[in-house]
Amino acid sequence: MGTVTITIDGQELIAESGSMIIEVADTAGVSIPRFCYHKKLSVAANCRMCLVDVSNLPKAVPACATPVADGMKVLTQSPKAISAQKSIMEFLLINHPLDCPICDQGGECELQDISMGYGSDISRFTEQKRVVKDKNIGPLIETDMTRCIHCTRCVRFGTEVVGLRELGATGRGEHMEIGTFVEKSLVSELAGNVIDLCPVGALTAKPSRYKARAWELAATESISPHDCLGTNVEVHHRRGDVIRVVPRENESINEVWISDRDRFSYESLNKSKRLTQPMIKKNGDWQKCDWETALTFAADNLKAMVKNKGKESLGALVSPNSTLEELYLTQKFIRGLGCHNIDHRLRQIDFSTQHDDPFYPKIDFAIADLEDMDATLLVGANPRQEQPLLSIRLRKSTRYGRVMSIAPFELNENFRIHPQISMHSSELTTHLQGVVAALIEQQKEPISATLKDLFAETSATNDHRVIANELRINDNACVLVGQSALEHSNSGHIRWLARTISRLSGCKYGELTHGANSAGAYLAGAIPHRLTVGRDSDHCGWNTQQMLQKGLPGYFLFNTEPELDSSYRDAARVSLLKADLVVMCSPFAEGEFLEYANVLLPIAGFTETSGTFVNVEGHWQSFTAAVKAKGEARPGWKVLRVLANLCDISGFDYNSSEEIRDELRNKLDNASEAYVGHLHNPDKLEHGGESPRVLTIYDSDMLVRRSPSLQLSPQGVTNWRRDQIQELAFFEQRQVIDIKEVADA
């Protein structure tokens, strides 16, 4: 593509030929009013607001749909352009209700802003304005369709970005309406983005409706705590309450989008019952107390436990959604007590190859590279449920490339997956072995004899050969291992197979880990077999499975409810109830832990603490607290600091979370990945095994389980564990929503 030279308002600019006037103007900082144009969507040119004056053209032309040409002279402020824009504004306002005082968009409305510049003081339209009935499209998005100006951004978003066309324009002319035609809730897990896209107040956020005006809100940059991508968000808050969460643009991670889980999970911070004061259970009754009492109680009991029952009598479980600082301090604290039983791998079942684990689990490439992959093999991954934004990237890659899947379920993506092998989880290994066998068949270079012997008896099917061939012949190819493969009872072998596929085919490899900070947990050393930054531990502690299945006298739980978070629901219940001491650090005050815990320490939740998440690319992203924690709750790192001090463990004199991060960063800079074991060939091929039923998107952590609006959305209502978790979200109202009732509504 060549370049052309054009002038906009006298400013000479060099532009790529084929680009539109509006793109060039945006890059140069020349503002042109627009409603339907959006840089991430196709050009519709239906609002006509961006009309500009181009030399030698008799009429004003839309800047969003006019390609640049060499020598083109564009005037955005000439009388012709201004008069065209003003006329369009008048047309757009004909049917707009101008109900700004009662509109949630007021103050951040593109129509409001642009009508300030181009609108007339007086309307010449004396006829009756049209009224459009509002539609109920679910618990997340509020509609006021009379305000709609038919820019169709929301429709194009569904068609082009998500690939699931739910909204459309029905009717014609003055009767045109945006909606679903048949009343139904939007099922896309990315639907909330239409709220940001809507340039008027037709689509607004239902949970934060009428809560605040845009100009009253303060914004704090943050990172979403739900999946391993590290989605960039902005937290909007007022007077100590989080009002909403919106996307923050980061082209390399989340582009301009966020998932509904990232957007609406904040609700649990205000709507569910928060733990605002430390509590101690005395004779079966929960009693509120002050911090000193609670911390002394916890420290004394932990010390006594270690002293009387042995150093390994204690087990610590910590959520992979905790910050790097919290993970680091938890392991430092537990190891300071002399104990090695610490784990964040709550959903993992197979720990047999843990010493072969990489330095930390990650993907070998940038998230943004995924959209240029020519071939992607998903192994037990369900992106729409696990990392919804990844699904957008994968979908983009299918324009030229192909996505393939081997998983114990049928994938329900909005793009073509071919071939798609779905089977019972016990056959997952068989199919991966088939792909390896196919690669050995196709490989021209010599292959080690041990590998050949291992796979001597394995046969490949046609699908296996297609997958092997695609991964082998394409330079841009990758294998991605997802949740149900990582949770599989043979996950060690499965990951070895996936790595072998990657090695033999020369494609890239990646693990889509649990939670927001699994990578950080490995680096921090919140694992039983390795210390901070991958150093070998002289003593290998118990993993999650051992801690929960074998049972321990004492537990330290940080930000997790193992009976829901782990794969060991029943064992967790039994062991925790049986334990003599359970110290629980939690932002929430309602859950099964009320039955088994002995002391509750209130910690700050999402948006309330500073910290760092390490995403799946190994990218460190730090953030600050947006609001203060509720009541007497304190950031987790501070609670851990005091607890360690009370237990007389040295090295806990931190003044800020940054100090903790920098200490870890320093250790990392002086570390070498050589500490870490490398993948060994197994003696024989494993078969069978199974993976537990994967948690659905709105059942993934403490926050989302307690977010009422997410629980009311179609995916929340159909969650297979709904009966076990619904009381958490609707605790306040003490209402148990009848699934049928919601589905019918």
Partner 1 sequence: MTSITQNNVNEEKLKLEQLISSDSIKQIELWRKKYPSDRKRPPIIAALNIVQKENNNFLTEELMTAVADYLDVPHIAVFEVATFYSMYHLKPVGKHVISVCTNLSCMMCGSKEIVKHLENRLNIKLGETTSDKNFTLKEVECMAACAGAPMLEVGEIFHENLTTEKVDTILQDLGLRSSSNGE
In terms of CB distance, is 137 or 205 closer to partner 1? 137
Residue 697 binds partner 1 (CB under 8 A): yes
- Locus of tokens 């808050």: 237
In terms of CB distance, is 199 or 714 closer to partner 1? 714
390 backbone dihedrals φ, ψ, rounded to 5°: -65, -30
- The DSSP H or E segment spanning 684 is none
- Least Å from the CB of residue 385 to partner 1: 6
Stretch binding partner 1 (CB under 8 A), from 116-124, 176-184, 221-229, 249-257: 176-184
Residue from the set 412, 462, 670, 672 that interacts with partner 1 by CB under 8 A: 412
Residue 94 binds partner 1 (CB under 8 A): no
Stretch binding partner 1 (CB under 8 A), from 36-44, 114-122, 134-142, 174-182: 174-182
Residue 718 binds partner 1 (CB under 8 A): yes
3-state secondary structure (DSSP) of residue 20? strand
Mark residues 208-227: x for contact with partner 1 by CB under 8 A, - for none.
--------------------
In terms of CB distance, is 138 or 434 closer to partner 1? 138
- Least Å from the CB of residue 173 to partner 1: 6
In terms of CB distance, is 187 or 736 closer to partner 1? 187
Residue 182 binds partner 1 (CB under 8 A): yes
Instruction: Say how far apart CA 400 and CA 408 lie, in whole Å.
Output: 26
Residue from the set 271, 332, 345, 384 that interacts with partner 1 by CB under 8 A: 384
Cα atoms in the Cβ-side hemisphere of radius 13 Å centred on 684:
3
In terms of CB distance, is 188 or 330 closer to partner 1? 188
CB atoms within 10 A of CB 410: 12
Stretch binding partner 1 (CB under 8 A), from 134-142, 181-189, 514-522, 549-557: 181-189
- The sign of the torsion formed by the CA atoms of 250, 252, 256, 260 equals negative
- Which pair of structure tokens corresponds to residue 135? 């539609």
Residue 564 binds partner 1 (CB under 8 A): no
Distances (CA, A) of 67 to 18, 55, 369: 5, 14, 28
In terms of CB distance, is 170 or 656 closer to partner 1? 170
Distances (CA, A) of 53 to 61, 89, 737: 7, 16, 57
Residue from the set 168, 553, 618, 692 that interacts with partner 1 by CB under 8 A: 168
Residue from the set 73, 80, 130, 165 that interacts with partner 1 by CB under 8 A: 165
Which amino acid, residue 179? G
How many helices (H) does the chain have, and how many strands (E)? 28, 26
Residue 694 binds partner 1 (CB under 8 A): yes
Residue 337 binds partner 1 (CB under 8 A): no
Residue 64 binds partner 1 (CB under 8 A): no
Residue from the set 169, 212, 280, 737 that interacts with partner 1 by CB under 8 A: 169
- Least Å from the CB of residue 512 to partner 1: 16
Instruction: Say how far apart CA 582 and CA 297 lie, in whole Å.
Output: 12
Instruction: Say how far apart CA 302 and CA 577 lie, in whole Å.
Output: 17
In terms of CB distance, is 50 or 394 closer to partner 1? 394
- Specify the length of the chain in residues: 745
Size of the site for partner 1 (CB under 8 A): 29
Contact 548, 575 (CB under 8 A): yes
In terms of CB distance, is 158 or 434 closer to partner 1? 158
Query: Please, which residues have CB within 8 angstroms of residue 642's CB and are 6 or more apart in sequence?
Result: 291, 295
Distances (CA, A) of 502 to 174, 471, 478: 56, 8, 7
In terms of CB distance, is 165 or 273 closer to partner 1? 165
Mark residues 663-692: x for contact with partner 1 by CB under 8 A, - for none.
------------------------------
- Which pair of structure tokens corresponds to residue 64? 């969003």
Residue 106 binds partner 1 (CB under 8 A): no
Residue from the set 167, 294, 432, 729 that interacts with partner 1 by CB under 8 A: 167
Instruction: Say how far apart CA 341 and CA 333 lie, in whole Å.
Output: 11
Residue from the set 230, 361, 714, 716 that interacts with partner 1 by CB under 8 A: 714
CB atoms within 10 A of CB 17: 13
3-state secondary structure (DSSP) of residue 420? strand
Residue 184 binds partner 1 (CB under 8 A): yes
- Least Å from the CB of residue 187 to partner 1: 6
Q: What is the DSSP string of 293-360?
A: HHHHHHHHHHHHHHHHH-GGGEEEEE-TTS-HHHHHHHHHHHHHTT---EE--TT----TTGGG--SS
Residues numbered 189-208 forming contacts with partner 1, rule: CB under 8 A: 189
Query: Please, which residues have CB within 8 angstroms of residue 107's CB and are 6 or more apart in sequence?
Result: 213, 214, 215
Residue 696 binds partner 1 (CB under 8 A): yes
Residue 164 binds partner 1 (CB under 8 A): yes
Residue from the set 53, 166, 196, 463 that interacts with partner 1 by CB under 8 A: 166
Residue 399 binds partner 1 (CB under 8 A): no
Q: What is the DSSP string of 507-538?
A: -EEEE--STTTHHHHHHHT-BTTB-GGGPBPS
- Least Å from the CB of residue 383 to partner 1: 11
3-state secondary structure (DSSP) of residue 438? helix
Stretch binding partner 1 (CB under 8 A), from 382-390, 460-468, 577-585, 621-629: 382-390
Q: Are strands 203-205 and 141-143 parallel, antiparallel or unpaired?
A: antiparallel
What angle do helix axes 462-473 and 491-505 make, rounded to 10 degrees?
50
Stretch binding partner 1 (CB under 8 A), from 182-190, 370-378, 594-602, 642-650: 182-190
Residue from the set 187, 218, 594, 736 that interacts with partner 1 by CB under 8 A: 187
Residue from the set 71, 171, 310, 688 that interacts with partner 1 by CB under 8 A: 171
Residue 702 binds partner 1 (CB under 8 A): no
- Locus of tokens 């297609």: 466
In terms of CB distance, is 152 or 376 closer to partner 1? 152
- Least Å from the CB of residue 382 to partner 1: 7
CA 708 to centroid of chain Cα atoms: 18
- The DSSP H or E segment spanning 259 is none
- Least Å from the CB of residue 559 to partner 1: 25
Distances (CA, A) of 120 to 33, 35, 101, 368: 15, 18, 18, 44
- Least Å from the CB of residue 128 to partner 1: 16
Residue from the set 193, 385, 566, 586 that interacts with partner 1 by CB under 8 A: 385
- Least Å from the CB of residue 406 to partner 1: 16
In terms of CB distance, is 182 or 449 closer to partner 1? 182
- Least Å from the CB of residue 227 to partner 1: 15
Stretch binding partner 1 (CB under 8 A), from 180-188, 266-274, 280-288, 670-678: 180-188
In terms of CB distance, is 475 or 744 closer to partner 1? 744
Residue 42 binds partner 1 (CB under 8 A): no
Residues numbered 719-738 forming contacts with partner 1, rule: CB under 8 A: 720
Q: Are strands 232-238 and 218-223 parallel, antiparallel or unpaired?
A: antiparallel
Distances (CA, A) of 322 to 110, 272, 330, 451: 37, 19, 10, 40
Contact 328, 660 (CB under 8 A): yes
Which positions lie near partner 1, rule CB under 8 A? 164-173, 180-182, 184, 187, 189, 382, 384-385, 409-410, 412, 694, 696-697, 714-715, 718, 720
